[in-house]
Amino acid sequence: MVTVTQQKCACADCVCIVNVKDAVTKSGRNYCSDACAEGHPKGAGCDHSGCACHG
């Protein structure tokens, strides 16, 4: 059996890889940050180095 420990953030524009145990989970999907999980309110980005997502 394989256990997944990391995956890409569920935000379509985000390039971040998130540890599943540290992810922000919303509606059964894993996100790297609250901004991504909430759909980037007011254009907020995830603020991770090298990622330019803003929803």
The per-residue pLDDT for range 20-32, each reduced to its tens digit, is 999 999 999 999 9
At residue 54, the pLDDT reads: 87
The CATH number of the domain where 41 resides is what?
Answer: 2.30.170.10
Q: What is the C-alpha separation between 1 and 44, in angstroms, rounded?
A: 38
Is residue 14 a contact partner of residue 36, using CB atoms and an 8 Å limit?
A: yes
- Mapped onto helix, strand or coil, the DSSP state of residue 31 is strand
Q: What is the C-alpha separation between 54 and 1, in angstroms, rounded?
A: 36
Whole-model pTM? Answer: 0.90
In this predicted structure, the answer to whether residue 7 has a pLDDT above a threshold of 90 is: yes
Range of the domain at 34: 1-55
Q: What is the C-alpha separation between 38 and 53, in angstroms, rounded?
A: 13
How many separate domains does the chain show? Answer: 1
The per-residue pLDDT for range 30-41, each reduced to its tens digit, is 999 999 999 999
Q: How many Å separate Cα 1 from the centre of its chain?
A: 25
At residue 55, the pLDDT reads: 67
